[in-house]
Amino acid sequence: MSDTIVSIRNVTKAFPGGVTAVDNVSIDIEQNEFFALLGPSGCGKTTLLRMISGLETPTGGQIIIGGEDMAYTPPNKRPTNMVFQSYAVFPHMTVEQNVGYGLKVTGVASDEIRRRVGEALEMVKLTALATRKPDQMSGGQRQRVALARALVKRPKVLLLDEPLSALDAKLRDDMRMELTRLQETVGITFIIVTHDQDEALSMASRIAVMDRGAVQQVATPAELYEQPKTRFVADFIGKVNLIEARVHRQIGRKVDCELKGVGRMELVSDNLVGAQVSVAVRPEKLKIASSEPTAAIRVQGKVRDVAYYGDTSHVVIEAADGLNLSVNVQNDTRLGGSGVERGQSIWVYWAPEDSIVLTE
């Protein structure tokens, strides 16, 4: 396997005034990874990124980049480069000058600067705009300048702070693919900060989900979605039905519990659980039937709401004990639709292995 390029060890950042933005975080990021720091605003992800870049210093812990502890190394001495959320493309320089800036200030020979700037501009498809000033460019083009300016330095790690948030929807999709392509071409470790789960899921090879300064889970997108470790992760990544459950007893991995509004059943959990758990089920794992199914887990309820999204319909079903279940129904035949109407009495069922037992 590949080596660790960035190792964050017990890093804490406490701001004067008592706010702890990052609280004892440890993450290992591998060479050539497309790593995402994901979380709601104020979760500390940007502060963590800025500490990797050196623009912020931690109040505790180590940040090891390429085998060297750089927690207190200034940004201009680190093998990292950043693409800022606002792009921060220098307005008084042309595109070429912007891209060449990092080489010029570090004393690279001018003919080499010219060659590398040319390559970088080609990579982000901006060769034609080399002599433009930033104020004559669109947001998407400015972002490409910021990307080229960072990549031309051939950093060990490229840091991207919410790179897509300022772009419109169409451009965002293009740029998402572009970033993935770039990362594969240049073979540099990318660390991206985002609050957008779709962005993280579609681009990243691994994701660290953060909440209130702490890492909740580090995993691949599929693992995060299918095996969330905490209630927060299950809720933050994708849509989920969270059902309260009371645990009667646990024998080995088998948990005998009573789901509110559903009934008593046996589920599987790797962890030792307490008396109270939440059971998470993704809406697309739920099935509906008009007559009572034979499945082990089944609930009867009334259709409260149907929202049509073209390929799918999102159906909300109200069962006993105030339990609301969201079900995604594939509209897989043209004339059938979701086949449900508001107020209709209906059965919901799912396979026991699609239930995730969450303790916290």
Partner 1 sequence: MENWKQNPRVFWTLGLPPSLWLLAFFIIPLGFLFIMSFSDKAMVDGEVSITGYDYLTGITNYIRAFDPLYLGIMWKSVWISALATALCLLFAYPIAFGICFAKDKWKPLLLLLVVLPFWINLLIRTYALIAVFRTQGYVNKILGWVGFGPFEMLYNNFAVIFGLVYVYMPFMVLPLYATIERLDKSYLEASLDLGGSQFQTFMRVTVPLTMPGIISGIILVFIPCLGSFLTPDLLGGANALMIGNVIERQFKAANDWPFGAALSFLLMYATFGALALRYLFTLRSKGVDV
Question: Which residue in 97, 127, 230, 359 binds partner 1 (CB under 8 A)?
Answer: 97
Q: Which residue has the tokens 């419109």?
A: 168
Closer residue to partner 1, CB minimum distance, 75 or 118? 75
Nearer to partner 1, 148 or 281 (CB): 148
Window contacting partner 1 (CB under 8 A); options: 95-103, 229-237, 269-277, 311-319: 95-103
Q: Which of 13, 27, 48, 54 binds partner 1 (CB under 8 A)?
A: 54
Q: Residue 93 CB, nearest distance to partner 1 (Å)?
A: 7
Q: How far apart are CB 297 and partner 1 at their closest, in Å?
A: 52
Kindly tell me which residue out of 14, 84, 178, 318 binds partner 1, with binding defined by CB under 8 A. Answer: 84
Question: Residue 80 Cβ, how far from partner 1 at the closest point, in Å?
Answer: 8
**Does the protein bind partner 1 through residue 75 (CB under 8 A)?**
yes
Q: Judged by CB under 8 A, does residue 349 bind partner 1?
A: no
Part in contact with partner 1 (CB under 8 A); list of ranges 97-105, 205-213, 259-267, 288-296: 97-105
| Residue from 5, 22, 123, 150 binding partner 1 (CB under 8 A) | 150
CB 250 within 8 A of CB 359: no
| Rounded CA separation 8/27 (Å) | 5
If binding is defined by CB under 8 A, does position 217 make contact with partner 1?
no
Q: Which of 11, 25, 71, 81 binds partner 1 (CB under 8 A)?
A: 81
Does 90 bind partner 1 (CB under 8 A)? Our answer is yes
Question: Shortest gap between Cβ of 51 and partner 1 (angstroms)?
Answer: 13
Measured from the CB atom, is 74 or 263 closer to partner 1? 74
Question: In terms of CB distance, is 13 or 153 closer to partner 1?
Answer: 153
301 touching partner 1, by CB under 8 A: no
Residues 98-117 that bind partner 1 (CB under 8 A): 101-102, 105-106
Task: Report angle CA 96, 144, 77 to the nearest 5 degrees.
Answer: 70
Which residues of this chain interact with partner 1, rule CB under 8 A?
Answer: 53-55, 74-76, 80-82, 84-86, 88, 90-93, 97, 101-102, 105-106, 149-150, 153
